[in-house]
Structure 1
Amino acid sequence: MEKTRSIGGSTVNKSSTESYDVVVCGGGLAGVSAAVAAARLGASVCIIQDRPVFGGNSSSEVRVTTHGAAQFHAYARETGIISELLIEERAANHEPIRENGWTNSVWDMTIYDMMVSTPNLKFHLNTSVTEVEMDGPKSIRAVKTRVANAETELTIRGRVFIDCTGDGVVADMAGCEWRLGTESRGEFGELHAPLEASSDTMGSSIQLKAKDMGRPVPFRAPEWAVKHEDPAYFYNQGRHFYDLMAGFWWIEIGVPWHTIYGNEDIRHELTRHALGIWDWIKNGDPELKQRSANLALDWIGQVPGKRESRRIMGRYFMTEHDLLNLTVFPDEVAYGGWFIDLHTAGGLLAPTAEPASAEGYAETTEYAVKSYCGPYGIPLRIMLAKDAGNLMMAGRNVSVSHAALGTVRVMATTALMGQAAGTAAALALQKGIEVADVPDVCIKEVQQRLLRDGCFLPNVRNEDPADLARGAKAAASSAELVYGAGPESRDRTGGFRKAEKGFMEAAEPLMQRRGQWIAVGTAQIRSLSVCLSNGTDQPQTVEAELLPVRHIWDYRADAGTPLAKTKLTVPPGPGRWIEWPVNLTAADGLEPGTYVRLDLLANPGVEWHMAGTVLPGHVSAYEMGGGRMRRYRDGGTLSFRVEPPQPAYGAANVLSGVTRPYDYTNVWRSNPAEPLPQWAGLEWAEPQRIGRVELTFPGHLFREYHAYEPFYRDPQCPKDYAIEAFADGEWRELLRVQGNYQRRRTHDLPGGVTASRLRIVIHATNGDPSAAIAEIRCYES
């Protein structure tokens, strides 16, 4: 029954009831992705958010920038809905990205535009869940909510509920089992777990932003701010001042306050500390006083960014063993790749900051070795509440241990989980099954749908039976060859590698084993060469191995029996190309369509130089310890040459079923020496009726979101292109697109077309001389 009142002759509803297929509670990146995914698949969706903007910790209220797997792994950036948003934000935003504190309303409006523009999707902002109505002990019927500042109560009914509140509010009210705190090492045998269990959680942070005024600016802290006087508190405890313009993640507090019930106390204490820290910067430390002389405190957050609270028990409980051992799950629906980042309980009140920071982010310590992980798969079952058949979770409240939460909690990863949850919910409703039954009934359909919608799964590739392209052969106007690249090379893509002062000139002695991935395009490699410098006055010997590897994240230092081994002699002097006549063929195990890794073993007297460009799909790593490797620098290309040049970017890559460099380059690239336009296309034995073409372009994958400047459009991404079909004996242009910068585009062909050949003609890119396409899909309707 609706409650009403009369005002000035009109009737106003104070309470009402709405009904939807899917109800998403929480409007962070997980919730946004869940809601959009379900709505795009035809479900009626309502998302409830208790703040005035979407984005959660990433919003302009909190300003924590979006992190993910690409921080540690080349080509690991998350795709799907989160990719659409981040690409759009960079293309539109005038401000640079800094570590924290710089998120502005362009990001808020980017998300808001998607929410407003998505059919089947309704939202309620400034709306909090106050109660859960159950339909029996195992099913949720509705959530009751209150709209702040509107004196309005809403009852939102649904068939499937997705708890993306972070704190697991809905699951808690529904009576679901949850954990809060830290498991003991004895419970699961996790290396990151303490000996004794506790209620300790990671803390919450607020952010700062400073502005350069171009003249000296004073600062006086209020009397109630914390007064810092001991330099050791910062410099001996891992609290670094790298960028004074941006916020500091380590302005963090948790225990002794409760991460949920003490949130307001935490906010106030964080404010006291933040002002005190800025006072130390401006008036305390002599060096920082000079660096910050012209800086003014422009903004200070008042919404704590929370890292951890309730973790809802699901149908699978994921531990750090799954992450470190790269467990392959049959219900894989997302992936992660952040390190196991467990902040010290207490934050600013603890003896040291987060362990990796306390070590100065060293990359070869015992802690670094045991914490580096991924990319790893994430199963749907950690998002299915075990105590409620129609409740899912996505975000930091999923069914994982405290140790595993250290990596799955970052926002780009939670966004992937959100898209997976929304997709599973919509498909379950279409099939008339409980969402809890999806892993047993239709998980392959969920996986294929996620791939079709732009996501990446490490252990799944395109097998969509409706994709007509899978029955075609690919062809192209030309294809680039891989010759290698050297220090003298220059970035041809207008920004593919982030410009860093001194990056190319920095010394790179071989302190550990270092490896360069090389794509094999033909069953022959006659010779390999590397550019080395010998800074000693004596010839140096370097051991070299050529190893078969599974993919670009195969970090095993000992990847099996080498295809070949040798010792290279490096005479004294700079920049010498040293040739290895390796003479490998298929008989030696060389396999086209795979990678080999060229490893040079340690010799500190020798330098192996980076190339001056990045060859797409050609990454590098080094041995960090414990028989494991990790990304070398930004993961870009080390100098090498290969003879004969390898045809690794052929047209067949658009049908590989994978849309990024992974087990192979998985991208078609035209010959950069030939002018645009260039094309890649499909040919069928019999004419096909095509009503929709779905394209995935390269770009926006190599580095994390932070690496891209304002108004960025990835050079590799086609800018102007056309879709043409060969029908009735001639090529006919079906549509033309101009000004593109998104990596995934879907095109419905009005009236459809019946054709035996179809091609995508690239007329212009956003800077790369090569046209490029990662995947072409075709559907009847």
Structure 2
Amino acid sequence: MIFSEGGEKRALALEQLETELVIVGGGVSGVCAAITAARRGVKVVLLQDRPVLGGNASSEVRLWMLGATSHMGNNNRWAREGGVVDELMVENMYRNKEGNPLIFDTVMLDMVKSEPNITLLLNTAVYHLEKSTADEISAVKAFCSQNSTEYFVKAPLFVDASGDGIVGFLAGAAFRMGAESKDEFGEKFAPSKEYGELLGHSLYFYSKDAGRPVKFVPPSYALQDITTIPRFKNFNTREYGCKLWWLEYGGRLDTVHDTEKIKWELWKVAYGAWNYIKNSGNFPEAENLTLEWVGTIPGKRESRRFEGEYMLKQQDIVEQRHHDDAVAFGGWSIDLHPADGVFSEKPGCNQWHSKGLYQIPYRSLYSRNIKNLFLAGRIISATHVAFGSSRVMATAAHAAQAVAMAAVICLDKKVWPAEIYHKQYIGTLQTELLKSGHHIPGLLLNDGKELVKQATITASSELVLKELPESKLLKSLETAVAQMVPLKAGKVQDFIFHAEGNAATQLEVELRISSKPFNHTPDVTLERKTIPIHPGRNCINISFDAVMQEQAYAFITFLKNPDIQLHFSTKRVTGVLSVFNSINKAVSNYGKQTPPEDLGVDEFEFWCPKRRPDGENIAFKYPSGIDLFRAVNIANGIDRPVASPNAWVADFNDPNPNLTISWNEKKQISSIDLLFDTDYDHPMESVLMGHPEDVMPFCVRNYTVKDEQGNIIYQQKENYQTMNKIRLPQPLSTSSLTIEVEHPSADVPAAIFSVRCY
């Protein structure tokens, strides 16, 4: 028994920690940063002020994690973020394709707890810090409400991934709050004060069918007349969870210090909405519905944005400007919301897309006036307009991985964050990121230490794609459709398609490409054909005169005609895709982006894939053959399709596909990295949306690695991850490696993006 007389002032329990890197904020950005650094041997303390990890992606808020893929609703093909954030999303897909937010919590916790170099402090909020000089943080102080313990955590480097920027704020880092004027950065999309300067918070609810009538008595604080809210006019009972993103409020308030006030207003709206659904009589289908969950903390969109050496702006996104210090990328639309949120007469969001991915520079990821402070998550150095795109979680996490890798280099080279840029370590940072499976648009991995680039690479077969055979699958041209195919520079050879005509009509066919070979927006038409169609089966031999000026994706485009059906194929191939000129209202895709004049964004059409189990390729023959799936692609430094597939793909009929990597002399090999195709085009929304698969259809499941004598040095069964890192217990001396793989299925040939040996 513990007994105390009391009377004297007491102090809380105090735990003092000293580490190499402090990361404050356990959202997806903080999680990915912590894992990235820890895997490189850095001792990390990760402080999270909530009981679970994930921030807005956690079960406490339940927003799906998204980034450049934008629900497959834009023209960013193969754009899912790479590295740890990709590993996280693929792992969640395997364990949790139904999108249960509680399971996603466990996936994040499991990945963090599996890293021995991470000390995780949950329910621990930073409230104070100490500085050794005016521009250098020396330690943070935090308090855990669950164990009544204070923590004093000292380190040479700090990452603020807290969302509101608590570390940066306390340290005196330069920041902004509210929108910039059009004149400051020349951004034509900068909003007026009438529209608003901040995005608000959102709070969601879930409902479920109880199987019997359920009554609802609203709490006294529920909004009584929900019909006064303009946004509620089109509400239906099928909307729940983060489909209620528009249930937003707070953009006219202080989104840091007024958060509790904003939460209460959102609770009023949420419970008032449910009261209307249950008790107005206008929703008879809701009789058996009951509230299953209502958020208790709002999901924040915007508060402070901190200033780095460079501020990302609208022009960087729309024009896809090049940065020598690019370390990450984005691709979500510039997505701004009216400050009045759910009470606004204006549309819930105002989204404008770019034609492709944009680079995020390293100079936007550290404070310009606190020399040992990195910026991660939504607080990076960006204008309010650019923030409208860079704020989304997968994009933010991707940039956070770059921050963590930079911290590794800072500790190794004994430099400050800014010195990585100013002392020419950017190339080192970019190389280390690319080696980890990270993607940076426009950059190739060219690592002089990597051994496969020095080798001769052969394969048992290489796909020369001459045909995607028909599969008794017909689809009407109710919507225009295009088959994306990678083609070399030179004259485009003949294609053969088959169509069924319901009546005598004409088929309009266009050969399109992108104005930029690394984009996938078909905004340039090289040639048009009008082909007569008769009732019944038609063999269409399309002879093009056009010449491809450089290697890129071509779009064989069939314009809308409901009297025509095209034959499709069940065969799927890495880097080959069909896209449709369809609509996705969730991301303001109405088939074509037509902005007002002088907004500073482009007009173009959307051509997007359909989700599996749909999204089959159009059946076609290309007698000349597409010869871009060669074995040497595994060493070209690109781990995903861009202007070509960038993968070795085996022939469909190869019974035992294998790659052989040979050197003129024996090499000492300690590690082997293999990168497989987990379909970078799939957004893998982390919660709410269910998915048809737990393993992507292109992913090699089973493979064996052998040395020059045919000895098995590694074997993997049931793989589902993108990057497989093989660490050998002892260095292997060999003059060759053979990688034997199995086709994922009869409809999908085996493919490997990259093999790297060290």
TM-score, length of structure 2 as denominator length: 0.88
Residue in 2 aligned with 1:555?
521
Residue in 1 aligned with 2:598?
none
- Corresponding letter in the other structure for 2:256: I
- Corresponding letter in the other structure for 1:634: K
Q: Is the alpha carbon distance of 1:242 and 1:403 closer, same or farther for their aligned partners in structure 2, counting shifts above 3 Å?
A: farther
Q: Which range moves more in the overlay, 66-75 or 636-645?
A: 636-645
Residue in 1 aligned with 2:584?
none
| Counterpart Cα distance in 2 of 1:612 and 1:710 | 16
Determine if contact 2:492/2:548 at 8 Å carries over to the other structure: no
Residue in 1 aligned with 2:37?
38
**Deviations 1:723-774 (Å, cap 9, x if unpaired)?**
1111xxx322112122221111111223222222112111464786522211
| Counterpart Cα distance in 2 of 1:298 and 1:615 | 42
Secondary structure of the equivalent of 2:739?
strand
Secondary structure of the equivalent of 1:736?
strand
- Aligned residue runs from structure 1 range 594-743, under 5 A: 594-599=552-557, 612=570, 614-619=572-577, 620=579, 622=581, 624-625=592-593, 628-634=604-610, 636=615, 637-675=617-655, 677-706=656-685, 709=691, 712-726=694-708, 730-743=709-722
Secondary structure of the equivalent of 1:341?
strand
Determine if contact 1:183/1:198 at 8 Å carries over to the other structure: no
Return 5+ residue gaps in structure 2 as ranges.
582-590, 594-601
- Corresponding letter in the other structure for 2:31: V
| Counterpart Cα distance in 2 of 1:142 and 1:339 | 37
Quote the offset at 1:189 in angstroms. Answer: 2.7
Residue in 2 aligned with 1:304?
298
| Counterpart Cα distance in 2 of 1:759 and 1:243 | 52
Quote the offset at 1:554 in angstroms. Answer: 3.7
Determine if contact 2:570/2:747 at 8 Å carries over to the other structure: no
Determine if contact 1:86/1:705 at 8 Å carries over to the other structure: yes
Determine if contact 1:203/1:259 at 8 Å carries over to the other structure: yes
**Deviations 1:15-41 (Å, cap 9, x if unpaired)?**
132111111111101111111111211
Q: Is the alpha carbon distance of 1:19 and 1:574 closer, same or farther for their aligned partners in structure 2, counting shifts above 3 Å?
A: farther
| Counterpart Cα distance in 1 of 2:618 and 2:605 | 15
Determine if contact 2:334/2:385 at 8 Å carries over to the other structure: yes
**Deviations 1:174-214 (Å, cap 9, x if unpaired)?**
11111111122232232321245997311111121222323
Residue in 2 aligned with 1:28?
27
Residue in 1 aligned with 2:272?
276
Secondary structure of the equivalent of 1:731?
coil
Residue in 2 aligned with 1:411?
393
Quote the offset at 1:522 in angstroms. Answer: 9.3
Is 2:106 the partner of 1:103? no
Quote the offset at 1:89 in angstroms. Answer: 1.9
| Counterpart Cα distance in 1 of 2:477 and 2:506 | 17
Q: Is the alpha carbon distance of 1:343 and 1:285 closer, same or farther for their aligned partners in structure 2, counting shifts above 3 Å?
A: farther
Q: Is the alpha carbon distance of 1:621 and 1:259 closer, same or farther for their aligned partners in structure 2, counting shifts above 3 Å?
A: same
Residue in 2 aligned with 1:347?
341
TM-score, length of structure 1 as denominator length: 0.86
Quote the offset at 1:396 in angstroms. Answer: 0.8
Determine if contact 1:509/1:608 at 8 Å carries over to the other structure: no
Is 2:83 the partner of 1:80? yes
Secondary structure of the equivalent of 1:429?
helix
Counterpart of 1:576 (choices 538, 544, 547) is: 538
Q: Which range moves more in the overlay, 633-642 or 336-345?
A: 633-642
Q: Is the alpha carbon distance of 1:351 and 1:722 closer, same or farther for their aligned partners in structure 2, counting shifts above 3 Å?
A: same
Q: Is the alpha carbon distance of 1:546 and 1:245 closer, same or farther for their aligned partners in structure 2, counting shifts above 3 Å?
A: closer
Residue in 2 aligned with 1:749?
728
Quote the offset at 1:552 in angstroms. Answer: 5.8
- Aligned residue runs from structure 1 range 155-554, under 5 A: 155-196=152-193, 200-228=197-225, 230=227, 233-234=230-231, 242-244=238-240, 248-284=244-280, 286=282, 288-290=283-285, 292-356=286-350, 370-372=352-354, 374-440=356-422, 441-485=424-468, 488=471, 505=475, 507-510=477-480, 515-520=482-487, 525-532=492-499, 537=504, 539-540=505-506, 542=508, 544-545=510-511, 547=513, 550-551=516-517, 553-554=519-520
**Deviations 1:68-123 (Å, cap 9, x if unpaired)?**
11123331111211111122222223x613xxxx511x211211122111132212
| Counterpart Cα distance in 1 of 2:281 and 2:501 | 42
Q: Which range moves more in the overlay, 627-636 or 134-143?
A: 627-636
| Counterpart Cα distance in 2 of 1:37 and 1:558 | 40
Q: Is the alpha carbon distance of 1:765 and 1:609 closer, same or farther for their aligned partners in structure 2, counting shifts above 3 Å?
A: closer
| Counterpart Cα distance in 2 of 1:643 and 1:766 | 24
Determine if contact 1:428/1:434 at 8 Å carries over to the other structure: yes
Q: Is the alpha carbon distance of 1:614 and 1:40 closer, same or farther for their aligned partners in structure 2, counting shifts above 3 Å?
A: same
| Counterpart Cα distance in 2 of 1:283 and 1:420 | 51
**Deviations 1:563-585 (Å, cap 9, x if unpaired)?**
xx35232224466342112377x
Q: State the superposition RMSD in angstroms.
A: 3.0
Q: Is the alpha carbon distance of 1:767 and 1:487 closer, same or farther for their aligned partners in structure 2, counting shifts above 3 Å?
A: closer
Number of residue pairs matched by the alignment: 723
Q: Is the alpha carbon distance of 1:665 and 1:581 closer, same or farther for their aligned partners in structure 2, counting shifts above 3 Å?
A: same
Give aligned-pair identity as a percent: 29
Is 2:67 the partner of 1:64? no
Quote the offset at 1:710 in angstroms. Answer: 7.3
Quote the offset at 1:317 in angstroms. Answer: 0.6
Quote the offset at 1:451 in angstroms. Answer: 1.1
**Deviations 1:226-276 (Å, cap 9, x if unpaired)?**
13453983465x756654576511121113432111111111111111111
- Corresponding letter in the other structure for 1:265: K
Secondary structure of the equivalent of 2:244?
coil
Residue in 2 aligned with 1:91?
94
| Counterpart Cα distance in 2 of 1:289 and 1:183 | 47
Q: Is the alpha carbon distance of 1:22 and 1:304 closer, same or farther for their aligned partners in structure 2, counting shifts above 3 Å?
A: same
- Corresponding letter in the other structure for 1:185: K
Determine if contact 2:477/2:561 at 8 Å carries over to the other structure: no
Q: Which range moves more in the overlay, 198-207 or 442-451?
A: 198-207
Quote the offset at 1:282 in angstroms. Answer: 2.8
Q: Is the alpha carbon distance of 1:80 and 1:26 closer, same or farther for their aligned partners in structure 2, counting shifts above 3 Å?
A: same
| Counterpart Cα distance in 2 of 1:36 and 1:579 | 53
Q: Is the alpha carbon distance of 1:408 and 1:557 closer, same or farther for their aligned partners in structure 2, counting shifts above 3 Å?
A: same
Determine if contact 2:29/2:377 at 8 Å carries over to the other structure: yes
| Counterpart Cα distance in 1 of 2:331 and 2:292 | 33
| Counterpart Cα distance in 2 of 1:473 and 1:523 | 27
| Counterpart Cα distance in 2 of 1:439 and 1:551 | 29
Quote the offset at 1:385 in angstroms. Answer: 0.4
Quote the offset at 1:148 in angstroms. Answer: 1.3
Determine if contact 1:339/1:371 at 8 Å carries over to the other structure: yes
Quote the offset at 1:463 in angstroms. Answer: 0.4
Determine if contact 2:46/2:120 at 8 Å carries over to the other structure: yes
| Counterpart Cα distance in 2 of 1:12 and 1:710 | 55
Quote the offset at 1:377 in angstroms. Answer: 1.0
Determine if contact 1:694/1:776 at 8 Å carries over to the other structure: yes
Determine if contact 2:204/2:244 at 8 Å carries over to the other structure: yes
Residue in 2 aligned with 1:362?
none
Secondary structure of the equivalent of 1:377?
strand
Q: Is the alpha carbon distance of 1:771 and 1:285 closer, same or farther for their aligned partners in structure 2, counting shifts above 3 Å?
A: farther
Q: Is the alpha carbon distance of 1:371 and 1:525 closer, same or farther for their aligned partners in structure 2, counting shifts above 3 Å?
A: closer
- Corresponding letter in the other structure for 2:649: R
Secondary structure of the equivalent of 1:653?
helix
| Counterpart Cα distance in 1 of 2:467 and 2:354 | 29
| Counterpart Cα distance in 2 of 1:737 and 1:461 | 28
| Counterpart Cα distance in 2 of 1:160 and 1:446 | 17
